[in-house]
Structure 1
Amino acid sequence: MKRLSVLLFLLISSAALAQQNAETNRWSATEANAWYAKEPFLVGANYAPANAINELEMFQADSFDPKTIDKELSMAESIGMNTMRVFLHDLLWQDPAGFTKRLDQFLSICAKHKIRPMLVLFDSCWDPFPKLGKQHEPTPGIHNSGWVQSPGADALTDVSQYPRLEAYVKGVVGAFKNDQRILAWDLWNEPDNTNDNNYGQNYLKTELPKDRKVAIITSLLPMVFQWTRTAGATQPLTSGVWIYRTPDDWQNSAKWTPMEKVQLENSDIITFHQYSNPEALEKVIPALQTFGRPVICTEYMARGVNSKFQTHLPIAKKAKVGMINWGFVAGKTQTFLPWDSWQKPYVNGREPAVWFHEVFKQDGTPVDPAEVAAIKQSTGK
């Protein structure tokens, strides 16, 4: 308990200065809107190749697969997608030269297919104990059974590892700070997600205690914004809000959590997640646009909760809100299975009547041709 108190004290003290510095160097709304005015209607997916169970397997030397990535991004280009949201990992920076080379190769494949990705530096979702090396095979019947957090619980709770995290952020951002192949940097995916129903309090209980994890990251995130800006990123920075709130809540800062305050007050562009019906999307977009900055939805499309291409893309296009759905080609992440597959695994060949995520099956055929038609219509393809 004493060690935790010291850790939090050090974090809070550092974060206060980092918050001040990060806000000082934040893009103005005018700069952000000028950048966005040059962008097309952004449509894409959260992307990992079908043969990668997580972000480590996607980018490690032994499993990096440019051929599969090229094939799949060709499919994305064919339906008019022009962006992808792609997760990196701090452990990959243990091989800075190799990782930089592979990321550069990935960006070249993206550019070949007219796709500019948003790169995610950190992620609070799923397994809190990532390890380099060969990743385990998918657990049958379970959604995202092998995705890993970055940084993991060990690094989050060990302040001596923070220089390593800083070196990763400054290293990877610094290497690509002027690279126009990159759309934006998403600094931390769902930073206050405590994974209650999988690794957290309601299931495996291997996750850090909720309050402890959220307190640490609330103090660490301003530092990550500062590191990224110090590295000289010329692309916009963001960290997306994801917990459901009413439109009135977003317009009342007194109702924001401390984490949401950090995210919204440091982001150059506003990003959010929306796994809900079209009526909710129509209400939240104007609320988020009151911040006077570009707005992009970086996760949506879960058929089981009525979040769909056909309904959501026309709403977003009218408002020029970029849309990045979860999942592209079904594969080792198994995110065509619903979230509650952790409690009710789809075993013995059983599949959900309606696939949860993904645009294409692993054989390259659409999950639903009508969805691909809707994507093509929205992108003008």
Structure 2
Amino acid sequence: MHERKSTQWSTDAVWDWYDEQGWPVGCNYVPSTAVNPTEMWQADTFDPETIDRELGWASSVGMNSVRVFLQYLVWEDDPDGLVDRMEEFLSIADRHGISTMFVFFDDVAFSGREPYLGPQDDPVPDTHNSQWTPSPGHERVRDRSYWPELEEYVRSIIDAFATDDRIICWDLYNEPGNSDMHPDSIPLVRDSFAWARKAEPSQPLTAGCNWNLEMTELNEVANELSDVISFHDYSDLEFTRERVDELEELGRPMLCTEWLARSRNNFVETHLPYYRKQGIGCYTWGLVNGKIQTHLPWRTAQVSITEAVGEAEPPNVWFHDLYHTDGTPYIEDEIETFREQTNRDAERPAGK
């Protein structure tokens, strides 16, 4: 276990940490029975049985880490209960040899609405991620009168798990600026790092930025504050290589915390071996094709599936995700690629 830190990790320290991790490889995980993180984490719908089963599938192909979104409103309503359920999740994941990266804030709002408590609406048929709501919600990001509670959310959760080896790192903010929130999210990105440092975690910090190259100031802020550089990439391998070359100049370990978009030429067979060769930790979007329906392309959130893919359900090619809900692989060759690339006898290339 590393010592608790209130300041940014030095490059030497974070490379030492990264070399201890092996090669982090896994997925963004939402149980197939949850339509969004609110449904995942509320007491009435928290589903440890499904989580245990599905993380077993992840572990069976060599995945050793998952990225998991929290929802501020669930903490606000039931802080102790959320921490208890996070503890249960960590215990399940750890039994499968899987570490966890929790995400605090998120601007993505495919649903077009603010988060809410209670029963969540059913998924809209033929629509990508139709009930996904942001955390804490765009209104709370823009209105600083809410921020003392946001600070308590970040600091209290990190403090509860500050020395927990089951947590690989903390992702403070997913895709700030998404859903027309740029540049309004930049101040909260800055403050979220300051709050997290006050909690003195033993795990490094990152933020899910570097997803839109036009958001220059936002990306610079996140990269300057992060211990580990994370980025999202749903492009073909040539463009991925260009992005990696640029980010390598920052001199810190890298995690691609979202990838896999088959219709955009972002494939398991092209990108997973590349990330392994480069020593870049990577997390596919999706594991199981469940209620968030991310096997459908992004455009189905704006237009009909017929217009988006030119045919009725289901589309010929899944966009994200690896498994059907019964555990059957969508493409068996992809699963074999994971098994080959995650051979535990093979060592990840050493750090810089």
Structure 2 equivalent of residue 359 of structure 1: 322
Structure 1 equivalent of residue 57 of structure 2: 75
Distance 1:100 1:191 in 2: 24
Distance 2:228 2:215 in 1: 17
SS of the aligned residue for 1:98 comes to helix
1:333-364 CA distance string (max 9 Å, x none):
00000001123333896111101110101121
Q: Structure 2 length normalisation: TM-score?
A: 0.91
After TM superposition, the runs of 4+ consecutive aligned structure 1 residues lying more than 6 A away are none
SS of the aligned residue for 2:322 comes to coil
Shift of 1:244: 4.9
Find out whether 1:118 has 2:101 as its counterpart: yes
Distance 1:221 1:176 in 2: 21
1:109-150 CA distance string (max 9 Å, x none):
000000001110100001441001110000111000011101
Structure 2 equivalent of residue 318 of structure 1: 277
SS of the aligned residue for 2:57 comes to helix
Question: Does the CA contact (< 8 Å) of 1:140 and 1:346 recur in 2?
Answer: no
Shift of 1:369: 0.3
Q: 1:182 to 1:63 in 2, by over 3 A?
A: same
Distance 2:144 2:249 in 1: 37
2:47 to 35, 55, 65: 65
What amino acid sits opposite 2:188 in the alignment? L
Structure 2 equivalent of residue 368 of structure 1: 331
Q: 1:355 to 1:226 in 2, by over 3 A?
A: same
Structure 2 counterparts to residues 92-241 of structure 1, below 5 A: 92-94=74-76, 95-126=78-109, 127-194=112-179, 210=180, 213-241=181-209
Distance 1:80 1:148 in 2: 30
Structure 2 equivalent of residue 300 of structure 1: 259
Shift of 1:241: 2.7
- Structure 2 spans left out of the alignment, 5+ residues: 345-352
Q: 1:380 to 1:218 in 2, by over 3 A?
A: same
Question: Does the CA contact (< 8 Å) of 1:43 and 1:322 recur in 2?
Answer: yes
Structure 2 equivalent of residue 251 of structure 1: none
2:11 to 26, 29, 45: 29
What amino acid sits opposite 1:43 in the alignment? V
What's the RMSD between the two structures over aligned residues? 1.7
Structure 1 equivalent of residue 340 of structure 2: 377
SS of the aligned residue for 2:99 comes to coil
Distance 1:352 1:188 in 2: 31
1:66-94 CA distance string (max 9 Å, x none):
00000000000100000011000111212
Q: Structure 1 length normalisation: TM-score?
A: 0.84
SS of the aligned residue for 2:182 comes to helix
Structure 1 equivalent of residue 350 of structure 2: none
Shift of 1:256: 6.5
Structure 2 equivalent of residue 273 of structure 1: 232
Distance 1:29 1:312 in 2: 26
What amino acid sits opposite 1:225 in the alignment? F
The structure with the greater share of residues assigned to helix is: 1
Distance 2:267 2:325 in 1: 20
- Structure 1 spans left out of the alignment, 5+ residues: 1-22, 195-209, 246-254
What amino acid sits opposite 2:224 in the alignment? E
